[in-house]
Structure 1
Amino acid sequence: MSGFDADAFAAQIRHPVLRRMFAYWRDKAGARNMPTRADLDPIDFPYALGYVMLVEVERAPLRFRFRLYGSALVKYFADGDYTGKYADQLLPPDYAPFVVAAYTTAVEGGVPRHAQREMVIDRQILNYDVLTLPLAHVRNPDEIAMLLVVMIPAPSMPVL
């Protein structure tokens, strides 16, 4: 992660849960570029559990499978539990390519990403902050095996 300024990145994160998750991720990484999935313990972040997605990175072809899809996100998006499914299966269909592109960028860049997003589903405007954190492969610490994604939604508003 040469050139990645973790302090500058952290300063951009406004939501306290996301700031806390980034600090946790940095702590677990230690001197390495990123932690592994095995370094994480859900007991350490109960404040974020319902908003966490663990996304497995498959290669050849590059594809993203949800190993965990947080219960608060299932409720917020009201389109089902995607645990075990692929990002290209997300609904609505025009949302899936957006998510796949974001995950691809995260894997290719190899550094954490943060964004604030807005989308419209069923005539509701959905706003959310999302933090995407790479997790290393246990046997190859330079290869991203998973993405730890934390998505914090804001209250939805009707489209006028």
Structure 2
Amino acid sequence: MVAKSDARPLGSTIDYDVVEVEEPVHPKCRRLLDYWRARMQPDGTVLRTDFNPLDLPQLMGGMFVVEPVDGGADLRYRLVGAETERRLGRKFTGELFSYSYTPEMAADQIALHNRVMETRKPTCLRGHFIGIDLEHVSYEAIYLPVRTGNGGMQVIGGLYDLAEGASK
């Protein structure tokens, strides 16, 4: 179980206060999870080529794709949706986790993503960001493992404002 409290932002970097939950409640996270489950292969994996973000245009703004760097010692955002980058106030696409977050949050997120890729099981976090004037906004994020064409793993996910999901 990932749980983080008393987080302290360092400088202008981003931190968070989150808990891991069994199932998503946000309709967009549930939609991503359903889409992922519908593409499950007999071996229990989902192929990256079977996961087409263009099938989910209403979710794309909050979606992200993450790939391991240096054998999983760090991670890189291969792609981050424009809505997420706008809300968080900076570009994440192409950035390393170690550059994007406080050391504590980076370590937590690297461990979480590596666990998702190793177990090939999705997970979901709920909480809020600290250090970017969004402490009042509650988010939910879903993390879904996918296998690449060369046998490697990536994580595709989505980050959505829980208040926006309440009316959907």
The 3-state SS of whatever aligns with 1:13 is coil
Task: Report the counterpart of residue 103 of structure 1 in structure 2.
Answer: 113
> Which consecutive residues of structure 2, in runs of 5 or more, have no partner in the other structure?
1-21, 164-168
**Is residue 150 of structure 1 aligned with residue 148 of structure 2?**
no
1:119 Cα deviation from its structure 2 partner: 2.7
1:44 Cα deviation from its structure 2 partner: 0.7
Structure 1 residues 99 and 60, CA, compared in 2 at 3 Å: closer, same or farther?
closer
Letter in 2 for 1:150: G
- Structure possessing the higher relative contact order (Cα contacts under 8 Å, 6 or more residues apart): 2
Number of aligned residue pairs: 141
The 3-state SS of whatever aligns with 2:160 is strand
Equivalent position to 2:96, from 86, 93, 107: 86
CA RMSD of aligned residues (A): 2.2
Q: For the Cα contact (< 8 Å) 1:25–1:34, is it kept in 2?
A: no
Equivalent position to 2:129, from 104, 119, 125: 119
Letter in 1 for 2:109: V
Question: Structure 2: how far apart are the matches of 1:152 and 1:41?
Answer: 19
TM-score (norm 1): 0.76
Question: Structure 2: how far apart are the matches of 1:18 and 1:35?
Answer: 17
Task: Report the counterpart of residue 35 of structure 2 in structure 1.
Answer: 24
Question: Structure 1: how far apart are the matches of 2:27 and 2:67?
Answer: 26
Provide, for residues 51-78 of structure 1, a one-character-per-residue CA deviation record: whole Å limited to 9, x for no partner: 0110012343532111101111111111
